[in-house]
Amino acid sequence: MDYPPLPEAPNSLCPFMAGNESLTPHEVFAIRPKGGAPNSPGWTVRVVPNRFPALRIEGELFPEGVGIYDQINGIGAHEVIIETPDPDQELEDQPLGAITDVLRAYRARIIDLVQDIRFRYIFVFKNVGMLAGASLRHPHSQLIALPIVPRAVEEQIETARAHFELKERSLFADVLQAEIRSGDRLVYENSAFASFCPWASRFAFETWIMPKFPAAHFHTLDDYHLGLLAEALRHVLRRIRKGLQKPAYNLILQTAPFHQARVRELVPAEMEFRWHIEILPRLAQAAGFEYGTGFYINTTFPEEAASFLRRVREET
C-alpha cells in the first residue's frame, strides 16, 4: 500500500531543485564538496529558512497574561533541510556518507541556534507522504526552535528524574539495557546505537533509535558517531519501507532542552534525558477516541512488529 502521491511540481518551479536556489530564502548552511558561492548550485545538502514559518526569528519575546491564560508571541526559528539535489532520492537511498552529511546539517544548525538565549527547545522532524503531512515530495526535513519546552518532553524529563532519585540510575539506560537484553522488541543495533519498537507503542511499527552511551544533546555527537547513526537510520528506514510497502511516516529527533534553570543540579542532564529518534509509520488515522482520551489504539504488538522488521531483507 503506497502512500498517496504528492502533486508533482515542474522542475522549473520546485524550490528545492538544484538551480532553483533563487526560489528560496538565502541559505543559512550548505555542504558544497567542490566549493562555490552561497545560494548557487553544487551543493549536496542545503538549509534555508522556511518561506511559510510557524515561528519567526525576528523580534523579542513578550509573554503576557490574558485573564487566567498565558500567551507568548511567535518567536522562534523554522528551517528546511534539503537533503539532496535529487528529487527522487529518498534519505534511505543515499550513500552512508550523504546521510551522514544530512545529520551534520542537523548538528550544525542546532549548534548555531542554541546560542540564542530566547530558545528553550529545538527539534527536527521529517514528514514523508501526504498522510504524514508532507506538502512537497522533494526529500527534506524541518527544524523548529521554540521559546518553550513542549509538555511531552517535560513529562519525560520529570519521569526520568524521579527514576534517578529513586534508583540512582538513568531511566533511558535501563530501558535500552532491557531492550537489548531481551531482544524481543529489538530491530537493529551496531556498536553505538540500538533501534527497537518501544513497549506499549503508540503506533503500529513505531521504532526508536537511541545511543548506547549517555548523551542528552544530539549536537554533541562527533563525526564518527554520526556515521554510525547514519548506518542505523538507513537500516531501519529501508526495512520499514520494504516491509510495510512504502508507508507514510513521521521522523522526529528529540533532544534535551537548552537554557533551562535546573531544578536539581545534583541530577546530571544525561540522567534526565537521552536524545533519540522516533519513527512513526502512519498506517492508521487518529480519531475521536485518541483525541478524546490521549490513548492510542495499536493493533500490532511491538514484539510482533520488531520480529517482522528483523526478518525483512533490505534492498540494496
* Residue 63 pLDDT: 86
* Residue 294 pLDDT: 85
**Catalytic residue numbers?**
140
* Residue 98 pLDDT: 97
Averaged confidence pLDDT in the chain: 91
Interval 55-63 mean pLDDT: 89
| 104-146 pLDDT per residue, tens | 999 999 999 999 999 999 999 999 999 999 988 999 999 999 9
* Residue 262 pLDDT: 46
Assess contact for 272 and 256: CB atoms under 8 A. yes
Interval 28-57 mean pLDDT: 95
> pTM above 0.85?
yes
Is a pLDDT exceeding 90 seen at residue 290?
Answer: no
| 196-253 pLDDT per residue, tens | 999 999 999 999 999 999 999 999 999 999 999 999 999 999 999 999 999 999 999 9
Domains of the chain: 21-146 (3.30.428.10), 151-311 (3.30.428.10)
| 145-203 pLDDT per residue, tens | 999 999 999 999 999 999 998 998 999 999 999 999 999 999 999 999 999 999 999 99
